[in-house]
Amino acid sequence: MSKQQPPVKKNEMVQVTFEDITHDGSGVAKVDGYPLFVKRALPGETADVKVINVKKNYGFGRLMELKETSPERVEPPCPIFKQCGGCQLQHLSYEGQLEYKQKQVKDVLERIGGLNVPVHPTLGMEDPWRYRNKSQVPVGENNGELVAGFFAERSHTIVDMESCVIQREDNDRVVQLVKKLAKQYGIRGYDDRIHKGTLRHVVVRHAKHTGQLMVVLVTKGKELPNKKNLIQALKDELPNITSIVQNINPKRTNVIFGDKTEVLWGEEVIYDYIGEIKFAISARSFYQVNPEQTKVLYDKALEFAQLTGKETVIDAYCGIGTISLFLAQNAKQVYGVEVVPEAVSDAKRNAKLNHIDNAEFVVGEAESVMPWWQAQGLHPDVIVVDPPRKGCDEALLESMTAMKPERIVYVSCNPATLARDLKYLEEKNYATQEVQPVDMFPQTGHIECVSQIVLKDD
Ligand code: SAH
């Protein structure tokens, strides 16, 4: 049997025309049917490319010179766009990004899920910049100098960053201030190569509708030199800081947070509103990062749930109860499940805060709690799921479909696992009616969708 050789060799120069784009913003060109992935190349463009990595079934190239440019190409406003890697699509016009996201969802649903269902045009933002309400910046040292920014591609070196064009200005300001104060007070940056130093991350959370700010200083140990002065200076310089928290992460890991959180000053939570509902958010709880689009997403989820006030609803992967409380206003009873205990405490607190007494929350893995609810004889009319990127566990899908809800609303941040799970649901007598992409992450390749799925007539 003869093995077919890739048609290109490493370091070879080829001229290619791009046909498609991947989720990480790479252009896809085919050389005799062999796909070459090239960062920051757009469909329709022709370019000279240097082949840099050759695998059996695909390869990677570097964009050397554009010969024909797409009308969708724009100048990325961020000076560190190429090095940072946090955004993948700044070189594509915003209209182009929205179209690409719709097409990507449609393609993935067809390819992985075998589904041909209506995928609506992506709901985008009027101003797709400076939207993020949370900043998580790694801190380290470069030649003895404290730096905070991002990891240079495939390395442990932190590149210093002063500003991020998708981050709220307040968050940038806090990070710069912490950096300045840390230097002033002799607080060392953490070096992950030798597992030494003090400050590992600065996390800032901003609440759009109250203006409150939370600062989380993630440290290797409990010790934080000049803590009192640091707190005083933060308060003095930024009066809308209402919470200063220290999180201790002694482990050798790239997971940001450790298990221990201590309030250094102020409250352990900040408060924000989505629509009319007020939410308390603590340092480690998940909270959507784009507040403007969160409202758009949740409104869609609520629309797809078609509640009349009589329904029993389950909200799986409920976080701090955001979707649950949105639904509770129009349902008889809502049950939420979430794996992070702090998030469930927040959810319970949030129900009380809004005088909502028809929502209950359970700590646990959704895939274990769902079968338990099923065994208890719970009969939900509607189930909402909003899982992390890996999608729903099969045990969850199995018990969910066994409970035969009329409707399922699936909120997803990963079209590939969405497609896989929708396919499973199709096989269990459920039909996907429509899919609505919502642009929660402009300038990046990330895609969020909300889908309506209904029980087919027997
Ligand atoms: N619906 C919420 C949270 C969505 S993010 C919102 O819109 O704010 C996904 C959530 O699932 C996170 O809070 C995460 O902690 C939680 N999670 C992850 N794995 C889980 C599991 N196996 N069971 C239950 N919750 C899980």
Domain boundaries, the chain: 13-73, 101-126+290-455, 134-274
Q: What's the pLDDT at 2?
A: 43
Report the separation in Å between the CA atom of 71 and the middle of ligand 1, taken as the mean of its atom positions: 39
Q: pTM of the predicted model, to two decimals?
A: 0.93
341 lines ligand 1 (CB under 6 A): no
Q: Check whether 338 is labelled as a binding-site residue.
A: yes
Ligand 1 atom nearest residue 384's Cα: 1
Please say whether the structural domain 13-73 has been given the CATH code 3.30.390.10.
no
pLDDT tens digit sequence for 125-142: 999 999 999 999 999 999
Q: What's the pLDDT at 385?
A: 98
d(CA 364, CA 339): 5
Amino acid at 56: K
Fold of 101-126+290-455: Rossmann fold (3.40.50)
* Residue among 134, 274, 286 whose CB has most ligand 1 atoms within 8 A, to mutate: 286
**Catalytic: which of 78, 84, 413, 449?**
413
Q: What's the pLDDT at 351?
A: 98
Q: What's the pLDDT at 299?
A: 96
3-state SS class at 301 = helix
Whether the pLDDT of residue 4 is over 80: the answer is no
Q: What's the pLDDT at 25?
A: 85
Q: Determine whether 413 is an active site residue.
A: yes
pLDDT tens digit sequence for 407-437: 999 999 999 999 999 999 999 999 999 999 9
Residues of the chain with pLDDT > 90, as a percent, come to: 93
Matching fold, domains 13-73 and 134-274 = yes
Q: Check whether 162 is labelled as a binding-site residue.
A: no
Report the separation in Å between the CA atom of 139 and the middle of ligand 1, taken as the mean of its atom positions: 27
81 lines ligand 1 (CB under 6 A): no
Minimal-distance CA residue to ligand 1 atom 11:
317
State in words which class domain 134-274 has: mainly beta
Q: What's the pLDDT at 3?
A: 60
Mean pLDDT of the chain: 95
According to DSSP, the β-strands at 34-39 and 59-68 are parallel
pLDDT tens digit sequence for 294-352: 999 999 999 999 999 999 999 999 999 999 999 999 999 999 999 999 999 999 999 99
d(CA 65, CA 19): 17
Q: What does each C-alpha distance from 374 to 22, 235, 396, 412 come to in angstroms? A: 39, 50, 10, 23
According to DSSP, the β-strands at 145-151 and 241-248 are unpaired
Q: What's the pLDDT at 152?
A: 83
Q: What's the pLDDT at 23?
A: 79
378 lines ligand 1 (CB under 6 A): no
* Residue among 257, 295, 298, 339 whose CB has most ligand 1 atoms within 8 A, to mutate: 339
